[in-house]
Amino acid sequence: MNLGKYKFINYLLFIVAISFFWTCSPELSYGVKSFLFDGVPSPYKTEFTTINDSLQTIDIDTKKTLVSIVKKSEFNLHPPYRERDCASCHNRDDMGKTKLPIPELCNQCHTDFSQKFEILHGPVASNDCIQCHAPHQSKLKNLLVESDKKLCLSCHNSKQVSENIIHKDIKKTSCIECHNPHGGNNRMSLQPESCYKCHDNYKKEYQFLHGPVDSGNCFQCHGTHTNKAPKLLINTGDNLCLSCHNSIDITKTEYHIDIKNNKCIECHNPHGGKNDKFLLNKQ
């Protein structure tokens, strides 16, 4: 009987010694301890607490606290959605309805592009913000519903886009590198200075710049690459210059009294120069 008792004690001491040896590994330690004892917490289990975060039952400070402890999500969240402030966009009595129609609702926080651009992109002109943007969350920047180029080609015909000579080498170039997705002051909604991706950047070349060049509005004088006119000009000869510059004021100056049929660009650089009159040869 005593021999059996000693064997049991030696066996128990052996198990205890092994358990201490294995405690350097949380997984092995849990295996030994859970065999010997009940209620040992598992290292694999994460404890979660269900919190009633109804807008009707929590105050603002509590809501801010809840938001601050939420782990970073793989999604980009619209701020009202992230802050659980549903009522900033939706009616409390009917959460399926927005407080205002789109885009009035969006324009409460975001830029009203109809006031910013002369020409609007189709979805903007049709007040359909959520055609491109998710209202609550997205894995993409700016809450896009699809990656920018794939999103553009879901409406714009890829074959027609690739047939344009300007697009022959775009490869994986993002559309919005050259085009503004909301609108612009030219028919193609080109980003300011996008022409400089292929053409000379006169801002780096001249000390004084002609107004359209300085504002990045190349399309004030030049058309698109479908234009057949020389230099893609939207008007011919001096008619283009005189569409902005007053001919009466020009002929009053002593240097222009005898210009007769001389062309403006015979003396002036249309993009800029080293003097404030853009003279080709300083006089």
Distance CA 103, CA 114 (A): 10
In tens digits, the chain (283 residues) has pLDDT values of: 455 666 667 776 766 666 555 555 555 566 656 655 666 566 555 444 444 444 444 556 655 555 554 555 689 999 999 999 999 999 988 877 899 999 999 999 999 999 999 999 999 999 999 999 999 999 999 999 999 889 999 999 988 888 888 888 888 889 999 999 999 988 889 887 888 888 888 988 899 999 999 988 888 898 878 788 888 899 988 899 999 998 888 888 888 887 777 889 999 999 999 999 999 875 4
Is residue 238 in a domain? yes
Distance CA 239, CA 163 (A): 32
Q: Please state, in angstroms and as integers, the Cα–Cα distance from residue 247 to each residue in 114, 203, 262, following that order.
A: 34, 27, 13
Number of domains in the chain: 3
| CA torsion, ordered 158, 159, 164, 170, to nearest 10 deg | 50
Is residue 61 in a domain? no
Domain match, 30 and 77 both? no
Final residue in a domain of this structure, among 174, 191, 208: 191
Domain match, 218 and 156 both? no
Instruction: Count the Cβ atoms, other than its own, within 10 Å of residue 271.
Output: 19
Domain match, 77 and 183 both? yes
Is residue 68 in a domain? no
Is residue 94 in a domain? yes
Closest residue by Cα to residue 124 from 106, 100, 145, 141? 106
Q: Residue type at 3?
A: L
Domain match, 154 and 219 both? no
Distance CA 232, CA 121 (A): 23
Domain match, 183 and 250 both? no
Domain match, 93 and 157 both? yes
Domain match, 24 and 81 both? no
Question: Using an 8 Å Cβ cutoff, are 208 and 278 in contact?
Answer: yes
- The range of the structural domain enclosing residue 22 comes to 2-36
Closest residue by Cα to residue 220 from 204, 234, 236, 206? 234
Is residue 21 in a domain? yes
Q: What is the separation, in whole angstroms, between the first and last Cα of the chain?
A: 124
Is residue 54 in a domain? no
Domain match, 215 and 268 both? yes
Final residue in a domain of this structure, among 157, 191, 225: 191
Domain match, 126 and 221 both? no
Domain match, 126 and 161 both? yes
Is residue 249 in a domain? yes
